[in-house]
Amino acid sequence: MGRNTRKAGVLVLISFFSTIALAQNEIKAVVGITVDQMRAEYLERFAPHFTGGFQQFLSSGLIYRNCHYSHIPTYTAPGHATIFTGAQPRDHGIIGNDWYDPITKTEHYCVEDTLESTIGISTSEGDGMKSPRNLRTTTVTDELHLSTGGQSYIGAVSIKDRGAILPGGHAADEAYWFGSSGQFVTSTYYTDETPEWVQSFHAKNASLADYTGIWDYMIEEEAYSACLPDDNPYESTFGNSSSAFPHDVSEWVKTRGPKAMLASPYGNQYLTDFATAMIDNIPAEIADDQYVDFISVSYSSPDYIGHAYGPRSREVMDTYLRLDLELKRLFDAMDAKYGEGNWVVFLSADHGVAENPNHFGEELRMNATNHSSADLMVEMVEISEDIFGVNVIEKFYNNSLYLDESQVVSLGIEQSAIREKLALGLSQVDAFKKIWTLEEINSTDSYQAKLRRNLVDERSAGLFIEWRDGNYIYSSVGASHGSGYTYDTHVPMLLMGPSIPAGNVYRKVHVVDLAPTLSLMLGTALPHAAFGEVLEEALPFIEY
């Protein structure tokens, strides 16, 4: 089963494992589902049409209706890392999908690792040069691995590499992601060869053009009436004449390559097919033993679709109606492998998403719009030159500004004074609500606290941008995310399984609360930098 294959002759001290909670003997597996770019309100808005997995959560699950991220910015990689570590980005180290290092003057991708290489068929050398080594603390899955002496199976799959690698933690047996060739790949961090079941899966699905087809309304068109019109100026057309249904995804794949499939529900379907194949191929002697297994599935296509069409689109609604059925298929596979009632599932999201700012601004007559990073940089450089006579801004990255040390030194002014003067000057940029200096975010204000939780000292910028509501860097169509506003921080938190009560909880909780709750449910140590509170109502059956 990969890098952590069980080896004959491993001595297990049974007395050590006797400390594991009662739940460890009742639960055979945990499924952790992350939906990329799912706003919490989707669960309510689309509920009348759910018949599958989301409906099971609504009828039998414990639903935290007011769950939020407590860090900024709200991006994919920090979100996944926070869910599974219970830590803030400053502690788990994943402060963005990528980040700028002001010391080396280089940019880094969150899971890049040049020590590793690709396992699987790939058309890009970088597909498999990935690992979890940039993750600076332990995950729930790591602690499960440690608590069972490596006897628990841990598998993670996603379309995005970061959506598989970060949840799998440092000790995953298997982790797979969608490669440039259209096949799932992994890296030498996990294994030295592609397992036979993965080869069989790809042989069965050799042509993605044949796998995909026409994406049309799943149910009657009238059901989508609360969404924006089907063809509207706030949606991407992908170079076509219209953004309206139906969408010929097979043609997308033929003309634009395999990754074009990902901006459609076929991406979710393909991932479920692969995830259920992985579950089916867990050996019976592992699935039936006394140790809890952990399967992480991260659905990335909702993010691609949301970015392209926006949260009020019919495409987004249709995607979630179809994802509802994919979840049911995943649950059925777990029942078949572990037995009904023998596993726990949770679902959350790595971030939400803003409204399309142009629709938002027009509909509510508010000052909202999209912005160009290049145009903003030109404006900020002009302000810097007006103040200091030179440009002191070296880099504009992840809503932060890094100062040019050589220019700062040449001015002969304290850097803190330069930051303060530049922040004051940049406050005239209409898109910015506030520019925070490095000194200011160490205060006790709640917004600065969210910024501070994303601050890793050696990667620290000098100034931090707080956007006005409804303003961000993106194109004029679709939508994006990254802010501290509730449209980006408010995400679902759902749990379901034996002895977990059904119902709704409306008090404010945070994503960092999930990991310590799962750890106590499993009777393991908490991840080392876990920051949150325990969700006690999810644990009424735990006794020690």
> How many Cβ atoms are within 10 Å of 16's Cβ, its own excluded?
11
Any known ligand binding at 430? no
Place of tokens 């007011």: 66
List Cα–Cα distances, 289 to 109, 207, 210, 344, 369, in angstroms. Answer: 38, 37, 39, 16, 55
Number of Cα atoms under 13 Å in the Cβ half of residue 541: 16
Contacts of 415 by beta carbon, 8 Å cutoff, 6+ apart: 403, 408, 462
CA–CA gap between residue 57 and residue 51 (Å, rounded): 10
Tokens representing residue 162 in the block? 């970061």
Tokens representing residue 111 in the block? 């899971």
Any known ligand binding at 434? no
Contacts of 67 by beta carbon, 8 Å cutoff, 6+ apart: 40, 348, 490, 491, 492, 493, 508, 509, 510, 511, 513
Closest CA to 394 of 474, 461, 466, 465: 461
CB 49 within 8 A of CB 325: no
Closest CA to 141 of 533, 529, 535, 527: 527
The SS3 of residue 445 is coil
Any known ligand binding at 66? no
CB 40 within 8 A of CB 508: no
Phi-psi region of 491 (alpha: psi -120 to 50; beta: other; left: phi over 0): beta
List Cα–Cα distances, 220 to 224, 243, 266, 495, 541, in angstroms. Answer: 8, 18, 20, 31, 43
CB 522 within 8 A of CB 147: yes
Please identify every residue annotated as catalytic. 76
CB 477 within 8 A of CB 122: no
Closest CA to 491 of 356, 306, 308: 306
CA angle 187, 193, 198 (to 5 degrees): 90
Which sign, positive or negative, has the C-alpha torsion 167, 172, 177, 179? positive
Tokens representing residue 205 in the block? 């699905």
Any known ligand binding at 136? no
Q: What are phi and psi of 229, to 5 degrees?
A: -55, 155
Q: What are phi and psi of 250, to 5 degrees?
A: -60, -40
In sequence order, the β-bridge partners of residue 467 are 432
β-pair type (174-178, 154-158): parallel
| Residue set of the binding site for substrate | 97, 160-162
| Residue set of the binding site | 97, 160-162
